[in-house]
Amino acid sequence: MEYISTDKAPAAIGPYSQAIKAGDFLYASGQIPINPESGEIDTTTIADQADRVCRNIGEILKAAGTDYEHVVKTTCFLAEMSDFAAFNAVYEKYFTGKPARSCVAVKQLPRNVLCEVEIIAYLGK
């Protein structure tokens, strides 16, 4: 098992890792739209927050030596299901390989953000 960490994505805000390589898989913790440079949430729309989340995920994938094409599963959390279409419009630009996915609305997300995404990527050949 190997812990993956990069300063180009937000540091964990709790007792967990950004991601862990275990065997041929990468398990990344849920990412929220924190700007890694400022440590702040500096966006307010679902589109902008989804874009920041996806870019943060991209940096974690890069730190693990992989990319979006190797993501096999995502779990997406939305504060409002009414944001589903706008979220998808951003998500589909990054996850072009169409990994398996769950997407649910939740009562509240950390720091009152609008979305959070976690991923599993396959690192084997």
DSSP notation for 21-84: EETTEEEEEEE----TTTSS----SHHHHHHHHHHHHHHHHHHTT--GGGEEEEEEEES-GGGH
Catalytically annotated residue among 54, 76, 103, 115: 103
Q: Is 103 among the residues known to form the active site?
A: yes
- List, in sequence order, every residue forming a beta bridge with 117; answer none if it has no partner: 31, 76
Catalytic residues: 103
